[in-house]
A and B are shown apart, each in its own frame.
Chain A
Amino acid sequence: MHSDPPAVRLTDVRLERGGRTVLDAIDLVVPRGSVTAVLGPSGSGKSTLLAALTGELQPAAGSVEVLGTTLPRRQRELLERRKGIGVLLQGNGLLTDLTAAENIALPLRTHTSLPAPVINRLVAMKLHAVGLRAAADLYPRELSGGMARRVALARALALDPPLMIYDEPLTGLDPIASGVIMSLIARLNASLGLTSIIVTHHVHETLPVADRAIVIANGRIVFSGTPAELQATTDPLVLQFLRGEPDGPIAFDSGAAIDRGVQVEAA
């Protein structure tokens, strides 16, 4: 077990968008089987980090290893590697001309040669896992925000990927739907033996299910530890984010931060 490489290892990674450095000196290890919360204010670079984990964005420096190997640069090889990574997008990305069941069946139909009855059975199991068996024949436009998020979750799990990445899974959801999604993420991680990375700014809903937390701000990782250590921190930069204070080391106006240069060292 201990000889297994971590699910994700980022070593001295620098990520750029449009020639501008968004994240720098990122070192991150996500152990297999863990739930890691990647926290940070809006515009801090969380989505950029997610893009690096899925291979959409190649690092300007450093290396990104996922499930033991470096992510390839060639599109065809990258698509192959993504079969092992499930991603729940903030906007769900459900195909609007397919029903919930057809959306979940899509990766199975594309990547396996399973007969239709087996695929239908698998789809029913995935829908059951997210508590939506009755919604199989509904189109995305007929689903509530929480239901659509759960269908997207079922689709991301369709190929039983060992690594799941959740991009802002609670955005736009009411407290009850948020609770349902978070408990689903925790339950699925435990029962299916997954590794989960939750990229979010919803601190209080996410920390109870997380084993580890990292906080990104000002273009770098400013905290890495357990949720208990995060709650006990005295770092003013982290405290500002946790308490939601507008004044502090994290620039509320990101434009001002850009003007000053993103690589601002915390006081």
Chain B
Amino acid sequence: MPFVAATRSLGRAGLFSLSVLRASAPTRDFFHELTREIYKIGARSLPIIAVGGAFVGLSVTLLGYRALDTYGASNQISALVGLGLYRELAPVLTALLFIGRAGSSIAAELGLMRATDQITALGLMAIDPIAKAVAPRFWAAVICVPLLTGFFCSLAISASYLEAVHIIGIDGGTFWQVLKDSVDFHHDFLVALEKSAVFGGIAALVASYVGFHAEPTVEGTSVATTRAVVNASLLVLMFNFVLSAFLFGK
């Protein structure tokens, strides 16, 4: 009965998520682990986010310019880039890059911890494995993904500026003015960060859940890593539609 199995799995994932929240006590050890995870999954993701952001900015500028130039509105290129990035592209693409870079490593690390008895050992030392190994990773992702999204946007807009102004020949002042007029700090930028925090939480929860419950074998870890990337990516795309419909639907 695939429906029953899926429902049961969904219920387990929900209970797991609740246990992560319940295990998130602000202890000294928690903040120590949190700092370490922010470095591991956040700071180390910066290069891939920078490269991804720059090329997305270049591509959207090129595509937008060709479309807008048809109507003689090429000066509005920064509005297209800005709104497209903040509202949809940056949160989603940052989350997808984060899942590929950090989500897979979270699942693999927890899978290996399971396979090498580290999770069992934590429980036997009367240390809640979820509080020690999962909660810091979850909160690190919730904190890092919005910051990475801001970084992604900065690189994308910088790359767009270079292409639009120095290659295409749009006036630099116009580029910034149109961007400033069309993008609202609260309704566009902050909303992008809120969406990113949700995506970061989803990515970390999915990766942690499949890694934590992986079969304690090499194959089990491999399956968990794949499942983490696929499931988290699909969930982010689904949640993006739902959030966009609510936030920008009018």
Q: Chain A 52-93, CB within 8 Å of chain B: the 1/0 string?
A: 001010000000000000000000000111110101011111
Task: Tell which of A81, A85, A89, A110 touches B121, judged by Cβ atoms closer than 8 Å.
Answer: A89
- How far, in Å, is A118 (CB) from chain B's closest CB? 15
Contact between chains at B118 and A94 (CB < 8 Å): yes
Q: Which chain B residues (85-135) contact chain A, with CB distance < 8 Å?
A: 112-113, 116-118, 120-128, 132
A228 contacts the other chain (CB 8 A)? no
Contact between chains at B128 and A79 (CB < 8 Å): yes
B29 contacts the other chain (CB 8 A)? yes
Contact between chains at B126 and A79 (CB < 8 Å): yes
**CA–CA, A255 to B122, complex, Å?**
32
Task: Tell which of A85, A87, A93, A109 touches B118, judged by Cβ atoms closer than 8 Å.
Answer: A93
Contacts of B122 in A (CB 8 A): 93, 95
Contact between chains at A89 and B127 (CB < 8 Å): no
Q: Which residue of A lies closest to B116 (CB)?
A: A91
Q: Which residue of A lies closest to B119 (CB)?
A: A93
Is chain B's interface secondary structure helix, strand, loop, or mixed overall? helix
Contact between chains at B121 and A111 (CB < 8 Å): no
Contact between chains at A93 and B126 (CB < 8 Å): no
A3 contacts the other chain (CB 8 A)? no
Contacts of A110 in B (CB 8 A): 29, 125-127, 132
How many residue pairs link A and B with beta carbons under 8 A? The number is 57
**CA–CA, A155 to B124, complex, Å?**
11
Count residues of chain B with CB under 8 A from any CB of chain A: 17
- How far, in Å, is A18 (CB) from chain B's closest CB? 15
Contact between chains at A82 and B121 (CB < 8 Å): no
**CA–CA, A90 to B216, complex, Å?**
14
**CA–CA, A92 to B127, complex, Å?**
16
Task: Tell which of B28, B112, B113, B126 touches A82, judged by Cβ atoms closer than 8 Å.
Answer: B126
Name the interface size band of chain A: 20 to 34
**CA–CA, A90 to B121, complex, Å?**
10
Q: Which chain A residues (80-130) contact chain B, with CB distance < 8 Å?
A: 80-83, 85, 87, 89-96, 106-107, 109-111
**CA–CA, A90 to B122, complex, Å?**
14
Contact between chains at B116 and A87 (CB < 8 Å): no
**CA–CA, A152 to B112, complex, Å?**
18
**CA–CA, A126 to B121, complex, Å?**
18
**CA–CA, A252 to B126, complex, Å?**
37
Point out which of B118, B121, B123, B127 has the most chain A C-beta atoms below 10 A from its C-beta. Answer: B121
Q: Which residue of A lies closest to B19 (CB)?
A: A75
Task: Tell which of B28, B125, B126 touches A155, judged by Cβ atoms closer than 8 Å.
Answer: B125
**CA–CA, A68 to B128, complex, Å?**
24
Task: Tell which of B123, B124, B127 touches A106, judged by Cβ atoms closer than 8 Å.
Answer: B127
Contact between chains at B125 and A107 (CB < 8 Å): yes
Task: Tell which of B28, B112, B124 touches A89, judged by Cβ atoms closer than 8 Å.
Answer: B124
Contact between chains at B29 and A89 (CB < 8 Å): no
Q: Which chain B residues (121-154) contact chain A, with CB distance < 8 Å?
A: 121-128, 132
Contact between chains at A107 and B121 (CB < 8 Å): no
Contact between chains at A96 and B116 (CB < 8 Å): yes
Contacts of B116 in A (CB 8 A): 91, 93, 96
- How far, in Å, is A101 (CB) from chain B's closest CB? 15
**CA–CA, A85 to B127, complex, Å?**
13
Contact between chains at B127 and A93 (CB < 8 Å): no
- How far, in Å, is A98 (CB) from chain B's closest CB? 10
Contact between chains at B124 and A95 (CB < 8 Å): no
**CA–CA, A138 to B127, complex, Å?**
23
**CA–CA, A87 to B116, complex, Å?**
15
**CA–CA, A95 to B117, complex, Å?**
9
**CA–CA, A84 to B94, complex, Å?**
46
**CA–CA, A54 to B132, complex, Å?**
20
Contact between chains at B124 and A54 (CB < 8 Å): yes
- How far, in Å, is A103 (CB) from chain B's closest CB? 9
Q: Which residue of B lies closest to A110 (CB)?
A: B127
Q: A56-B120, A94-B118 are in contact. List 15 more A-B contacts (CB 8 A).
A: A82-B123, A85-B124, A87-B121, A89-B121, A89-B124, A90-B117, A91-B116, A93-B117, A93-B120, A94-B121, A107-B125, A109-B29, A110-B125, A110-B127, A155-B125
- Give the top 9 A-B pairs by smallest Cβ distance, nearest first: A93-B121, A93-B117, A91-B117, A82-B126, A87-B124, A79-B126, A83-B126, A107-B125, A89-B117
B residues with a Cβ closer than 8 A to A are: 28-29, 112-113, 116-118, 120-128, 132
